[in-house]
Amino acid sequence: MPRTFTVGLIGARGFVGRELVRVVENHPALDISFVASRSVAGQKVSDHMSGASTTLTFEDVRPEHIQDKPADVYLLALSNGEAAPYVAAIEAHHPSSVVIDISADHRFTSTWAYGLPEHHRAHLKGARRISNPGCYATAAQVGLWPLRGLVEGTPSVFGISGYSGAGATPSPRNDVNVLRDNIMPYALVGHTHEKEIAHHLGQPVFFMPHVAPFFRGLVVTISVVLKEAMSAAALQQRFGAAYADEPLIKVIPDPPLPKDLVEKHGVVVGGFAVDEKTRHAVLCVALDNLLKGAATQAVQNINLALGLRELEGIPV
């Protein structure tokens, strides 16, 4: 009988946490051993997440409790800056366990594998410390990776996300009254995802995020100047070849729409356009920020770390 691996989920109340519960519960080789959220400890998970098991109850699991909370995999769905004490406790008491950090805390740490499987699969197989990429960073890297070495100057990435990307803690960026009939630019230089994209691509990138009044999904429009002239058809063909063996990445001629990716586990690249006179090229990438931008990618990384099929438990 195939082995079942236990998963401890810490920081589960947020939007990404909900998706992690849903995806992990439907995974044939994973079993949730505990779900931690200090603010709703003692309450049933099913009262907050439709479809969740009625046997799961939120627990208050702090770093000092980790010793008594063994798991094969720890999913840290915490806010940025909160992972370190939990990682230290896991290192001390369960060092062989897999840790997937959903936050940005370890995306620049060389001793952690960077969890974008389509580009870093070899480093993720058997890894024990994995940093899950950001949602925007995933979309931007999928859109820029096949262009490495072909771009002149600095690429620009214009992003629009649903307000779930701002998290569940109340703020103007997830206030539906502020966002109604509106779009909100923010962090237009120096955004964490800008640094993340540049770091893992090995080149500077300009990134301009915006939040819109829809709940989930995102789209980025990428603008570059090519070193050599290329037709739109040739550009699309290049992306098609680059991702031909990637079942979660689809390449199409038209611009992808965020609404078409809601509750879907993949990425769509499209909208290829080139001004051959100026060598200005544009393309678009869309995904569900809570799935391929977070939970789906985390499960891919768990599967690779544990030696399972990469898409085990992920509907394709």
Give the catalytic positions in this structure. 135
Answer yes or no: are the C-beta atoms of 256 and 286 closer than 8 Å: yes
Quote the distance between the C-alpha of residue 111 and its chain's center.
Answer: 19
Which tokens is 188 given?
A: 């237009």
Task: Please list, in sequence order, all residues whose beta carbon lies within 8 angstroms of the beta carbon of residue 6, skipping any fewer than 6 positions away.
Answer: 30, 31, 32, 33, 70, 71, 72, 73
Q: State residue 35 phi and psi, 5-degree precision.
A: -125, 120
Question: In this structure, which amino acid lies at residue 107?
Answer: R
* Among 214, 78, 208, CA closest to 140: 208
Separation of first and last alpha carbons in the chain: 25
Which tokens is 167 given?
A: 């998290």
Bridging pattern class, strands 249-251 and 267-275: parallel
